[in-house]
Amino acid sequence: MSSLFRIVLVEPEIPQNTGNIGRTCVGTNCELHLIQPMSFEITDTQLKRAGLDYWQHLKWYVHKSYLDWWTQVEDPSRVFYFTTKVKKTYYEIDYQPGDWLVFGKETKGLSPEIINEHLQQAVTIPQPGHVRSLNLATAVAISIYEGYRQVNLRTNE
């Protein structure tokens, strides 16, 4: 079975977040792509603990750099960049199976260079409350499930 979505974490810093995201990916049939440098090792016990015993079922890949990952993208129009720096919301994506959903590191998000280069495909998760951003694992889960909802609606019509 092919993956629903391909989740990309650019330079993740917190192993527990990556573990939780891995678990969500297993539960939703998504791939996980990790772009180095990372602030932890894949063998980190906190990463494994957060992913529990699901890690063995995860389809995951490590890329040496953003450019190394970019060479794997077949259709750049199906890559979406999540950031707090734009107005367009993630509801405006017409999600398709196989889409790439790209998230930045926990402390800084995606670099301004990446966002500016792909401004048309940059989206935000609305946050009407008093926070600068959501937890990375939460943001990934929200995005996957909105995409899943859309794809599931179309396949059940």
pLDDT digits (tens, 9 = 90+) for 101-142: 999 999 999 999 999 999 999 999 999 889 888 999 999 999
Residue 85 C-alpha from the chain's centroid:
16
> Which residue numbers in the chain have pLDDT < 70?
1, 43-52, 157
Candidate CATH numbers 3.40.1280.10, 3.40.50.12280, 1.10.357.10, 2.70.150.10; the one for domain 5-155: 3.40.1280.10
- SS3 state of residue 9: strand
Domain spans in the chain, listed from the N-terminal domain onward:
5-155
Beta strand 60-63 with 31-35 is parallel
DSSP string for 30-68: -EEEEES--SS-TT-HHHHHHHGGGGGG--EEEESSHHH
